């Protein structure tokens, strides 16, 4: 099978990064701000300093946990037609951006804080877009109880989207994770069904360099026990939270992911784990993560290679054009960076709909990103290379100077081999500007008006609402 991919590291460099990651985990270790998790690591063979909250992980434990992690993961959905599996066979699965704190109102253009209704609208548009496979809880609902934000966000997304959902752990750690699992179990008909085909996964971020916060890591262990895929996202910023060098950043990403997998597998052997990075250099002028940096593509490719070295499914790339206003405000070279980033060997990537370094989101940007991705992903179309597709016998039958147009082999294969450009999507990309935003805005409005997401059964809606009310009383 032939699929276009970038390769950044040679084998010797992969091995060196692995060796240095192991040395880092054995000698420096990771800070884990949870006594519960530290004690479980100690029982598994780690050298733990409870006072300093540091666990040093021996190579034998790290590699034993690599072996325990499943190499294929189901990514279920409310609608079985949207069920996916990792790793992918051709192009990666695209998700929306996540947790944006403002939107550009689709009717007024006003920049305003996001609400739960906005989250419902973003989830519905994502459900309708062919290019989007996963609905990350796209915006932060400022009008719900913030202590139960993750639970409310998962519930809103599940009601308004039938694809796989991604969430983040909340401030209440393990208790919050258990409630999210309980809520999703209501939707699918029980915890056993959820574990077999999880309809949501969780993005769990380490704090670079080499640190895991209590609430998030305790929630991660609960998700692991329930069979919910953990997307272990390292957000290493070169020059700020990881070494300024490319190699140092890749080592930090790798060490954090290996440590996170150890914590996951110690909590629940065989738990689904996804190696992840959303990392980039620091903008030396502002201190912010620079999503336009040339290094973005190489970091994604290197992290993707390291994930595949261990056999982990990977979420190591992002998608989306850095823009303040809906559209494509980038240059040609910045667009190339975005596109090449998707060829890194990742299985998942996020970012559709993002504005302003992911601080904002716009419904029309979701539409634009989805349609452009549908176009770009054709470059990762799966081509079969075997004797039948090489077609030596067909060449012999056609003969010197002949034509293949009328041969049955052409009729049989042309639909899977010939990829046709969408003229409208090509037109949207032509300006590298915001000129297409009115067209995409009109499509987003039409989608909100016409796209219908099937309602959950009334008993499930009632039970879910009651579960959330009871949890809000507790927190």
Domain with CATH 3.20.20.480 in the chain: 67-380
pLDDT for 70 beyond 80: yes
Q: CA–CA separation, 454 vs 229, rounded Å?
A: 25
Over residues 137-165, mean pLDDT: 97
Give the pLDDT score at 428.
Answer: 84
DSSP category for residue 207: B
Q: CA–CA separation, 391 vs 372, rounded Å?
A: 33
Q: What percent of the chain has pLDDT over 90?
A: 86
pLDDT for 146 beyond 80: yes
pLDDT tens across 376-418, in order? 999 999 899 999 999 999 999 999 999 999 999 999 998 888 8
Q: Which residue has the higher pLDDT, 7 or 53?
A: 53
Q: What is the pLDDT of the chain when averaged over all its residues?
A: 95
Phi-psi region of 45 (alpha: psi -120 to 50; beta: other; left: phi over 0): left
pLDDT tens across 298-318, in order? 999 999 999 999 999 999 999
Percentages helix, strand, coil for the chain (3-state, rounded to 5) are 50, 15, 35
- Cis peptide bond prior to 209, omega within 30° of 0: yes
Over residues 135-158, mean pLDDT: 96
Q: Which residue has the higher pLDDT, 467 or 169?
A: 467
pLDDT tens across 229-268, in order? 999 999 999 999 999 999 999 999 999 999 999 999 999 9
Q: Which CATH class is domain 67-380?
A: alpha beta
Give the pLDDT score at 1.
Answer: 64
Give the pLDDT score at 285.
Answer: 87
pLDDT tens across 95-124, in order? 999 999 999 999 999 999 999 999 999 999
pLDDT for 423 beyond 90: no
Q: Greatest CA separation found in the chain?
A: 80
Flag the least confident range among 33-37, 241-245, 291-295.
291-295
Over residues 337-358, mean pLDDT: 92
Give the pLDDT score at 469.
Answer: 96
């Amino acid at each position: 099978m032939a699929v276009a991919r970038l390769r950044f590291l040679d084998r010797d460099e992969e091995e060196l990064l692995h060796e240095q990651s192991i040395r880092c985990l054995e000698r420096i270790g990771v800070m884990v701000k949870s006594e519960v998790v530290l004690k479980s690591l100690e029982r598994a063979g780690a050298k733990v300093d409870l006072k300093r909250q540091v666990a040093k992980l021996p190579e034998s434990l790290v590699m034993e946990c690599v072996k325990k992690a499943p190499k294929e993961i189901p990514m279920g959905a409310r609608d079985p037609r949207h069920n996916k599996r990792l790793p992918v066979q051709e192009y990666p699965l695209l998700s929306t951006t996540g947790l944006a704190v403002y939107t550009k109102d689709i009717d007024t253009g006003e920049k305003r804080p996001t609400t739960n209704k906005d989250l419902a609208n973003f989830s519905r548009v994502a459900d309708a877009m062919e290019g989007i496979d996963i609905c990350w809880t796209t915006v932060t609902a400022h009008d719900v109880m913030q202590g139960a934000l993750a639970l409310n966000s998962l519930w809103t997304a599940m009601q308004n989207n039938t694809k796989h959902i991604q969430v983040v752990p909340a401030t209440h750690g393990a208790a919050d994770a258990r409630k999210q699992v309980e809520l999703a179990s209501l939707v699918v008909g029980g915890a056993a069904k959820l574990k077999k085909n999880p309809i949501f996964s969780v993005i769990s971020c380490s704090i670079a360099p080499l640190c895991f916060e209590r609430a998030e890591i305790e929630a991660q262990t609960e998700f692991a026990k329930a069979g919910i895929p953990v997307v272990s996202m390292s957000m290493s910023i070169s020059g700020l939270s990881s070494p300024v060098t490319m190699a140092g950043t890749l080592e930090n990403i790798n060490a954090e992911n290996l440590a996170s997998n150890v914590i996951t597998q110690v909590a629940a052997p065989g738990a689904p784990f996804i190696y992840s990075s959303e990392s980039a250099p620091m903008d030396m002028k502002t201190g912010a993560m620079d999503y336009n940096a040339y290094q973005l593509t190489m970091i994604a490719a290197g992290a993707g290679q390291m994930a595949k070295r261990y056999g982990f499914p990977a979420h190591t790339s992002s998608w989306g054009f850095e823009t303040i206003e809906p559209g494509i405000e980038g240059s040609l070279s910045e667009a190339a960076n975005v596109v090449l980033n998707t060829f890194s060997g990742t299985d998942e990537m996020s970012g559709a709909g993002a504005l302003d370094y992911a601080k904002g989101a716009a419904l029309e940007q979701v539409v634009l990103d989805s349609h452009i991705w549908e176009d770009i992903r054709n470059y990762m179309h799966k081509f079969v290379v075997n004797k039948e597709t090489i077609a030596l016998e067909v060449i012999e039958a056609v003969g010197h100077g002949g034509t293949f147009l009328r041969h049955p082999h052409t009729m049989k294969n042309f639909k899977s081999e010939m990829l046709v450009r969408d003229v409208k999507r090509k037109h949207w990309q032509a300006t590298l500007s915001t000129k297409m935003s009115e067209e995409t805005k009109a499509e987003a409005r039409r989608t909100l008006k016409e796209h219908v997401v099937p309602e959950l059964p009334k008993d499930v809606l009632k039970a879910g609402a009651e579960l959330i009310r009871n949890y809000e009383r507790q927190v």
